[in-house]
Amino acid sequence: MSARRSLAAKLAALPHEERQRIWHSLSAAERQQLAYEWRFWARPEQLAPPGEWSTWLILTGRGWGKNRTGAEWIRAEVESGRRKRLALVARTAADVRDTVVEGESGLLAISPPGFRPEWEPSKRRLTWPNGAIGTTYTADEPDALRGPQHDGAWCDELASWRAGPEAWSNLMMGLRLGRDPRVVVTTTPRPVKLVKDLLADPHTVVTRGRTYDNLENLAPTFQRTVIARYVGTRLGRQELEGLVLEDAQGALWKRDLIEAHRVAKAPELRRIVVALDPSGTSGADSDECGIGVAALGADGHGYVLDDRSGVMSPAEWGKLAVSLYHMHSADRIVAEANFGGDMCEQVIRGVRDAEDRPVGASVPYKKLTASRGKAARAEPVAALYEQGRVHHVGVFAELEDELCSWEPNSGQRSPNRLDWLVWALTELMLGDGGAENWLGYLSAEVARQRGEIPAETRAAAPEAAEPATLHPLIEEPVRPWMEDQAAFSGGQK
Ligand SMILES: Nc1ncnc2c1ncn2[C@@H]1O[C@H](COP(=O)(O)OP(=O)(O)OP(=O)(O)O)[C@@H](O)[C@H]1O
Ligand SMILES: [Mg+2]
């Protein structure tokens, strides 16, 4: 998979005199044009392949030049007049603005001064001098893609789209202008279903590549942070080599299982927790803070609602946890206590909002103590997945990468996203706050009904609201018993 070189690189490799001779044979205008001549700078793999493809799937390592390639394809199609109505789709509104449009290799930066589109962020619209229009969309809002029609599209980081399948199918339905509508997809090769489906589609052409192919154009900071972080790791094969990873042999989670039970929307929820696996310090090298939101549905299944992990200072994760708590109307924040004793609670309690109100002071908080090793805690949670009882509401790319690549007992550094998830689902579905607590409540209720304990001592429901249905965990064993009871009391009449 070694990359071929660009014309620019070949020219640069010539002996000095030869290079000078060629350079001076060009007119001043031609030399100026070269600055924006993509066919000069592009490695051959970065130019659109020939043939009758409808999707060009660019599946490469980080920093390969995916964005540059996507942007240059859009520009070439617009400049040639081949396409006039373009959809530009990225995961979030911030991604589409900061990367696709305004990024260092985005559409504005790569356009020559004489053919630069006008950007109207409030209308989410780019207008090129020849009248072609590009509209930006975010995969998080797939409904906006329902209706508008396009003759071309560029989709960035498709494998990380939260509402991927829905956004993609809406886009495809509207991609029907012109005789030959086409889409370019640029993405890190995460093995999600959407990517696998595209790979299997005979109308897709695939370009693969490694981070190292573009090494000479990558900033030293990129080399220090991204490459250093992944080199020699299993995930590095995805992030740097651009390979579609199969599941790690010893990993507790499997991609197919997460995929099979993924849902687009959460059902009615009974309990919601924000879980934290805090980091102590901030800085590029420090650990990520694992933080996310999960819920117990009225159906007794677990739902993963959000993953907001990242490198953060305590002040930042404290704020984020409290704002997630309010945003999701959560029931409580849970956090690992082993870290810094009660420091975590102090951070949460101290959070104040923009108007200096103590919004963290009264948030219900529970510290969790790790009495068992990481693997022992993770296994029962992974087992819930195997039973099909945990659903990801949308795609959580980095979280899923961690789940499916972490091999317990392999000595790998512990992943923080996995940690928050294990805490959250343990709390919701396995621990004191989960079924056991619920059973305690139920048995007290039954005892009260039977007059064994007075009504005043009625146990508080684990949560304020009464559940709409019985917890399925207990519904099955209880139902025959209840039917027996009915038959029994019927017989007595
Ligand atoms: N053929 C090329 N010649 C010169 N510079 C290039 C070339 N290809 C890419 N670049 C530059 O390399 C840098 C990284 O490219 P880009 O941002 O497109 O990569 P990416 O694959 O989208 O990265 P990420 O994985 O971070 O999303 C950018 O500055 C881009 O302009
Ligand atoms: Mg990119």
Distance 60 CA to ligand 1 centre (A): 11
Nearest CA to ligand 1 atom 28: 105
Cβ contact 418:400 at 8 Å = no
Determine the Cα–Cα distance for residues 191 and 185; give it in Å rounded to an integer. 14
Q: What is the DSSP letter of 310?
A: B
**Ligand 1 contact via 214 beta carbon (within 6 Å):** yes
Q: Relative to the CA of 8, which ligand 1 atom is closest?
A: 3
Determine the Cα–Cα distance for residues 291 and 321; give it in Å rounded to an integer. 7
> Are 178 and 88 found together in one domain?
yes
**Ligand 1 contact via 84 beta carbon (within 6 Å):** no
**Ligand 1 contact via 279 beta carbon (within 6 Å):** no
> Are 363 and 351 found together in one domain?
yes
> Are 373 and 270 found together in one domain?
yes
> pLDDT tens digits for the chain (493 residues)?
456 888 888 888 888 898 888 888 888 888 888 888 899 899 999 999 999 999 999 999 999 999 999 999 999 999 999 999 999 999 999 999 999 999 999 999 999 999 999 999 999 999 999 999 999 999 999 999 999 999 999 999 999 998 889 999 999 999 999 889 999 999 999 888 899 899 999 999 999 999 999 988 888 888 877 888 788 777 888 889 888 877 777 889 998 899 999 999 999 999 999 999 887 654 445 567 999 999 999 888 999 999 999 988 888 999 999 999 999 999 999 998 766 657 888 899 899 988 888 888 889 998 887 777 788 888 889 888 988 899 999 999 899 989 998 888 777 766 889 999 999 999 998 865 444 444 444 554 555 566 665 544 444 444 433 333 433 433 444 344 444 444 434 333 3
249 domain-assigned: no
Domain C-terminal end among 239, 265, 297: 239
Q: What is the DSSP string of 112-179?
A: -GGGPPEEEGGGTEEE-TTS-EEEEEETT-GGGGSS--BSEEEEESGGG-TTHHHHHHHHHHHB-SSS
Beta strands at 269-277 and 290-297: parallel, antiparallel or unpaired: antiparallel
Count of domains in the chain? 3
277 domain-assigned: yes
Find the CATH number of the domain harbouring 347.
3.30.420.240
> Are 163 and 205 found together in one domain?
yes
Distance 49 CA to ligand 1 centre (A): 18
Q: Which ligand has the minimum distance to the alpha carbon of residue 238?
A: 1
Q: Which of 62, 67, 157 to mutate to test the pocket of ligand 1 (most atoms within 8 A of CB)?
A: 67
* Structure tokens belonging to residue 134: 């590009």
**Ligand 1 contact via 262 beta carbon (within 6 Å):** no
**Ligand 1 contact via 189 beta carbon (within 6 Å):** no
Would you state the pLDDT for residue 483? 47
Q: What is the DSSP letter of 44?
A: G
**Ligand 1 contact via 63 beta carbon (within 6 Å):** yes
Side by side, the strands of the sheet bearing 390-392 are: 365-368, 332-336, 269-277, 290-297, 302-307, 390-392
Distance 434 CA to ligand 1 centre (A): 47
> Are 49 and 119 found together in one domain?
yes
Beta strands at 55-60 and 204-209: parallel, antiparallel or unpaired: parallel
88 domain-assigned: yes
> Are 140 and 269 found together in one domain?
no
Nearest CA to ligand 1 atom 19: 65
Find the CATH number of the domain harbouring 227.
3.40.50.300
Q: What is the DSSP string of 194-237?
A: HHHHHHH-TTEEEEEE-GGGGGGGS-HHHIIIIIHHHTTSTTHH
116 domain-assigned: yes
CA distances from 399 to 369, 382, 421 (A): 22, 14, 9
246 domain-assigned: no
> Are 63 and 176 found together in one domain?
yes
244 domain-assigned: no
2 domain-assigned: no
247 domain-assigned: no
Cβ contact 33:39 at 8 Å = no
Q: 56 forms bridges with which residues in the sheet?
A: 184, 205
Look at the block and give the residue holding tokens 């000095």. 16
Q: Relative to the CA of 43, which ligand 1 atom is closest?
A: 1
**Ligand 1 contact via 302 beta carbon (within 6 Å):** no
Domain interval for residue 333: 255-430
> Are 349 and 460 found together in one domain?
no
Distance 95 CA to ligand 2 centre (A): 9
> Are 359 and 470 found together in one domain?
no
Q: Relative to the CA of 186, which ligand 1 atom is closest?
A: 22
> Are 293 and 421 found together in one domain?
yes
Would you state the pLDDT for residue 109? 96
**Ligand 1 contact via 3 beta carbon (within 6 Å):** no
Give the gyration radius of the chain's Cα atoms.
27
Distance 41 CA to ligand 1 centre (A): 11
> Are 51 and 163 found together in one domain?
yes
Q: Which of 214, 224, 235 to mutate to test the pocket of ligand 1 (most atoms within 8 A of CB)?
A: 214
Burial class of residue 174 in the structure, from the number of CB atoms within 10 Å of its CB (0-12 exposed, 13-18 middle, 19+ buried) = middle
> Are 30 and 148 found together in one domain?
yes
* Structure tokens belonging to residue 406: 């972490």
Q: Which ligand has the minimum distance to the alpha carbon of residue 65?
A: 1
**Ligand 1 contact via 66 beta carbon (within 6 Å):** yes
Q: Relative to the CA of 104, which ligand 1 atom is closest?
A: 29
| Nearest alpha carbon to residue 152 among 48, 49, 74 | 74
Domain C-terminal end among 178, 211, 239: 239
Domain C-terminal end among 390, 406, 430: 430
